[in-house]
Structure 1
Amino acid sequence: MDKITLYKLGLTKQEVDIYLSLLENETHTIKEISQITGINRTTTYRYIQSLENKGLVKWIVGTRGKIVQIFPVDNLETLLNSLKRNIKEIEIGLPELLKNLKQIQPVKRYQNQVRYYEGVEGLQQMIWNNLSINPKETSRSYTVFRRREFINPKFEDEFEKEWVRRRLKDHVITNEDRFEYINKRLVGAYRTESLDIHIIPKKKYYITNDILIYNDVFAIMSLEKGNLLGVEIENEEIAKTQRSIFDLVWSIGSSYKKNE
C-alpha cells in the first residue's frame, strides 16, 4: 500500500491508519477503529472529524448505533482537486502577502545574556568570539597587550591573521609602557592594517585587563597568573553605554603613530 501518496494529500499517519482500516471493512464504530489502530477513542473522534472535512468519510446511524463509513476512493481525486485550487489561490495571494510581511518590523527586545569563561581555553573562546563583529563596524578594545604571556602564542598569531583576512578593524586603547610589545610581538599586518591604537597615560586611565566592545557585547578578561577568567555581557544598552565611555577616553588619548 502506497501510504506516501496519502501523506502528500495531507493525511496524517493516524488518519491514514483509520482510512485504511475503513477501506478494509467500509464501516466501523469508534470503539472498533480505536481497537484496530491503537489510537485512543477521544483522539479518534478528532481524526474522524478531519477525514470528514476532507470528504473521505461520513457518519451514519446503523444497527450498531453511530458508525463511520468511508466514501468511494474516487473522493481522493476530489481532495486532490481541492488542494490544487488552494495552491492556485495561494500562488495568487502570495506576492501581496510577502509585500505586507516585509513591511512589518519585528519588536526589538533587549538581550540579557551573561556568559562566564575560565582558564586558557575559555579566554581563547572569548577572543575568537570577537571575530563575529559586524564587518561594517569597528571593534573597541582596552588592552594591556599581555595575552601572549598566558595564551598560546600560536593561537594569538592565528587570531590576528584571521582578523586581517576578514579585514576587520579595531580601535585600541593602551598605556604608554606597551610600545615594545606592539612593535615586536604583534603580527605585522595586524598592527599596521587592522589596529588604530591610542595611548593614554597610566596616571589618567590605568588599564589592568582586556575589555572588548563589539556588536551588543561588553566583554572583560582578567589576565592574572592563576586567575584567568572572563565574562561576556550581551545587552544592547550596556554595550552602547560602554562604547560612549570608550569614545570619550579615545578622544583624550594620543595616536600611537605620533609616539613611534
Structure 2
Amino acid sequence: MADKYLENKNKVVEFFQSLGLSNYESTVYQLLLKNRRAVSMLFISENTNVPRTNAYRICGQLRRLGLIEEIVKDKKKLVRASDLSHLELLVKDQKQKAFELGSSLPIIKKILTPQNAPQEGKTQISYFKGKDGIKQLLWNSLKAREILGYSFLAYEDSTDKKFAKKYREERWLRKIKNRDLLSDNDKYLTEKNLRLTKNLKVFALYRARYLPARKVNINHDLIVYNDVVAFYSWHKGEIFGVEIQNQDIAQLQKQVFELLWYQAKEPGTIIKSRKN
C-alpha cells in the first residue's frame, strides 16, 4: 500500500513538472486541491515548507496559470484551487505549444544551421562538462540508427533518473538499436536488472554482453554512432565528455567493437557461472 501511494505521488509530481510547475508551486497547488476551501498565506506557510513571503509569489504564478483563484473574505485575501477543468485547459495549451514548436523546428533548424558548416570528412571536436553537458552529449546520439557502447556508469549515475528515463524512451520511439559491452564485474549485472531489460519496452532494441575485466578494463563510458566517437568519465569529482566527429576514427572503433562483441558473453551466462 505504501509503495502504491509513493508511486502515485511520484506520478503527480512528474505530471506537474511536465507542466512547468516548480516543486514549491506543485506543493502549494496540491495543498489547495486537498483542502478545497479558501485559505490564507499563513495557512499555506504553516502546512508546507514554503516561507510566507514566497507564498505570495507562488500563488501569483498559479493564479496567472488559472489553477487557483483569489477571493476577499472579511477584508482578507484568500486563495483556493480553481475547478480541475482549468488544469485540463492548461494541458491543452501545453499540447498546442508543443505542436507549434514541432511545426516550427525544421524552419528554425534551417535558419540556425551555419552556411559554413564543416564539410563531410572534416574533424570536429566538442567538449562537455558537468551532468548537463553529458545530457547533451547523449542526446546528440539520438541521430543514430544504432549506438555501440562500452558502459561503465548507468545513465542515472552520469545524469539523473528523469533524463535517463526520457533518453531511453526517446531512443525506443526513434527505433534506435543499442548494443553495450560491459565488464563482468559490473554492479548492474544482476538477475533483477536482466529481467528489467527483458520486460520493459524501452529495452526492446537493447542488447548487452559482458567481457572479463582481464581482457578489457572498461573504466569509462564510450559510444560510437554514425561518424562520431564520444566518451565521458569522472575527473577530480566532476564528469566531463569529449565528442569526436571523424569518419575514419569512428569506422576503426566500430571494427574494434565488433571483434570484442563476438568474444563477449550473454549476461545470463555470466550470472549462471557466478552461482556455480
1:200 aligned residue (202, 211, 214): 211
Query: How far is the alpha carbon of 1:190 from its aligned partner?
Result: 2.7
Q: Measure, in 2, the Cα distance between the counterparts of 1:228 and 1:118.
A: 6
Query: How far is the alpha carbon of 1:146 from its aligned partner?
Result: 3.0
Contact 2:180 2:208 in 1 (8 A): yes
SS, match of residue 130 in structure 1: helix
Confirm whether residue 190 of structure 1 aligns to residue 202 of structure 2. Answer: yes
Task: Provide the aligned length of Structure 1 versus Structure 2.
Answer: 149
Q: Aligned in 2, Cα 1:257/1:169: closer, same or farther, shift over 3 Å? A: farther
Structure 2 residue identity aligned to 1:226: G
Q: Could you give the per-residue CA deviations for residues 145-199 of structure 1, whole angstroms, max 9, x where no partner exists?
A: 33312411110000001111111101110012331384477692233x1211111
Structure 1 residue identity aligned to 2:217: Y
Q: Measure, in 2, the Cα distance between the counterparts of 1:118 and 1:154.
A: 19
Q: Aligned in 2, Cα 1:179/1:235: closer, same or farther, shift over 3 Å? A: same
What is the match of residue 239 of structure 2? 228
CA RMSD in angstroms, aligned pairs only: 2.2
Contact 1:219 1:230 in 2 (8 A): yes
SS, match of residue 129 in structure 1: helix
Q: Aligned in 2, Cα 1:170/1:242: closer, same or farther, shift over 3 Å? A: same
Q: Measure, in 2, the Cα distance between the counterparts of 1:147 and 1:228.
A: 12
- The gaps in structure 2 that reach 5 residues or longer are 1-118, 272-276
Q: Could you give the per-residue CA deviations for residues 204-255 of structure 1, whole angstroms, max 9, x where no partner exists?
A: 1111111010000000111457220000000000000111111111111012
What is the match of residue 164 of structure 2? 156
Report matched runs for 1:44-193 at 5 Å: 109-133=120-144, 135=145, 138-176=146-184, 177=186, 178-180=188-190, 182-183=193-194, 188-191=200-203, 193=204
Contact 1:146 1:223 in 2 (8 A): no
- The gaps in structure 1 that reach 5 residues or longer are 1-107
Contact 2:194 2:267 in 1 (8 A): no
Q: Name which one, 1 or 2, has greater alpha-carbon Rg.
A: 1
Q: Aligned in 2, Cα 1:185/1:222: closer, same or farther, shift over 3 Å? A: farther
Q: Could you give the per-residue CA deviations for residues 78-97 of structure 1, whole angstroms, max 9, x where no partner exists?
A: xxxxxxxxxxxxxxxxxxxx
- TM-score (normalised: structure 2): 0.50
Q: Measure, in 2, the Cα distance between the counterparts of 1:126 and 1:185.
A: 25
- TM-score (normalised: structure 1): 0.53
Contact 1:174 1:207 in 2 (8 A): yes
Structure 1 residue identity aligned to 2:201: A
What is the match of residue 20 of structure 2? none
Query: How far is the alpha carbon of 1:132 from its aligned partner?
Result: 0.7
Q: Measure, in 2, the Cα distance between the counterparts of 1:161 and 1:217.
A: 22
Structure 2 residue identity aligned to 1:245: V
